[in-house]
Structure 1
Amino acid sequence: MAKYMLILRGTDESMAKMMSTPFEEMLETMGRFNDELIKAGVLVACEGLDDPGQGVVVDFSAETPVVTDGPYGETKELFGGFYLLDVATKEEAVEWAKRIPAMSGSKCEVRRVPAIDEFPQDNEWVVRERAWRERTGQL
């Protein structure tokens, strides 16, 4: 098994369409899909994000990070949320991604999340992280 993140990206238009959908309808639609993932035993985590206009951007282009309100100046695609799945293959993750009840114009990026076992096990920072994961029940 491997973990894959399904990163949901919307355009300004698809985000506006989603925001115009009645909240109860959106909860019902996403709830049904989430329930399928739970029943299949593949869901590790999932979260949606608040309105990008309520966030800030920390820009590391300069020597000192600059913080500005709202999303990036030119928003062609907004990161709207994610699913983290534990599945056997990338193909299985893609099949789940194709079933997400997303708005027309949205996209879903599928990326594997490397396991801690793939990093050098004698590295001090990997050892520390592994200990933290063991203490918190994440291994």
Structure 2
Amino acid sequence: MRVMVIVKASPSSEAGELPSTELLEAMGKYNEELVKAGIMKSGDGLKPSSTGLRVRFRGNERIVTDGPFAETSELIAGYWLWEVASMDEAVEWVKRCPNPMREESDIEIRQFYEMDDFAASDPDGKVAAHEDKLRASVAMQDSTLAPYLFFAGRCDEALEFYKHALGATVAMLMRFNESPDATPEGMLQKGFENKVMHATVQIGKLTVMCSDGCNDKSTFDGFRLALSLPSEDSCTGVFNSLAEGGKIDMPLSKTFWSPLYGMVTDKFGVGWMVMVPGEQSCV
């Protein structure tokens, strides 16, 4: 069951009085308990209504009114979104909350509608299917995508190479023999016990994940990593560094989309497109 837990505004919150250090710390501990319990999905405090706007709908009219708004008891000062088993559970958690205001205050619990509640108005399920797609789209907006490279037993060597060529930094590295879970028997090629199981590497603003893989059969086919640099000098330096021991597939040159662009395959078989971004234009 999804519920919104609403912290109602009070005279002090509408006056813009900030919580004390003690209250901030108490709320931090309370939120930590909610997160550990798997209940809290999100939550935030709201600035006073004096910083807000209200839009009234009257037929085709849209009338905008500046805050502050007079009905303090009807205003919201903050909220949480929780996933709970029942309203009783939500009430028990609310009772544990520190008083969020300097004076007496109220916290309201409201249950969300679910699509099943609208079944009578959506007999063929089209609206529900559309809402599912929208939720998936929203979730993807907060997703991250990172390349995962398998170096067939040469991951340590590759990491050292990228540190030199690209200024890469290793944020995390774990070897197979350091894994808290035993590797399934027969999964690893003999001699791979001390190889890199997983590493997280930062190259510029890109996070790259990499591993030795389970054997020496990995290849890099069908893709390239596109690396943009701010100047022609930096582009040339990185391109030449990546080409050491590798192969230049297209020398650096001017193109219609970039003042300097080239393609290189490094000595580990990873393909790169190295460039200086061109000016963007709208057609």
Note the C-alpha offset of 1:27: 2.7
Aligned to 1:105: 104
Q: TM-score by structure 2 length?
A: 0.43
Note the C-alpha offset of 1:26: 3.7
Between 1:97-106 and 1:80-89, the stretch displaced more is 97-106
Alignment of 1:78-117 (within 5 A): 78-101=75-98, 102-103=100-101, 104-117=103-116
Q: 1:20 to 1:124 in 2, by over 3 A?
A: closer
2:129 aligned with 1:132, yes or no? no
Instruction: Specify every segment of 5 or more residues in structure 2 that has no aligned partner in the other structure, as ranges.
Output: 141-283
Name the % identity.
36
Q: Matches of 2:86 and 2:71 in 1, distance apart?
A: 35
Kindly provide the CA deviation profile for residues 26-52 of structure 1, in whole angstroms up to 9, marking residues without a partner as x: 431211110010111111111111222
Aligned to 1:25: 22
Aligned to 1:70: 67
SS of the aligned residue for 1:94 comes to: helix
Which residue identity is paired with 1:83?
A: W
Aligned to 1:15: 13
RMSD: 2.5
Indicate if the aligned counterparts of 1:116 and 1:130 stay in contact, CA closer than 8 A: no
Note the C-alpha offset of 1:118: 3.4
Kindly provide the CA deviation profile for residues 49-79 of structure 1, in whole angstroms up to 9, marking residues without a partner as x: 1222111111225651210111324433420
Which residue identity is paired with 2:136?
A: E
Q: Mark the structure with the bigger radius of gyration.
A: 2
Instruction: Specify every segment of 5 or more residues in structure 1 that has no aligned partner in the other structure, as ranges.
Output: none
Note the C-alpha offset of 1:130: 1.2
- Number of residue pairs matched by the alignment: 135
Q: TM-score by structure 1 length?
A: 0.81
Structure number with the higher helix fraction is: 1
Note the C-alpha offset of 1:126: 2.4
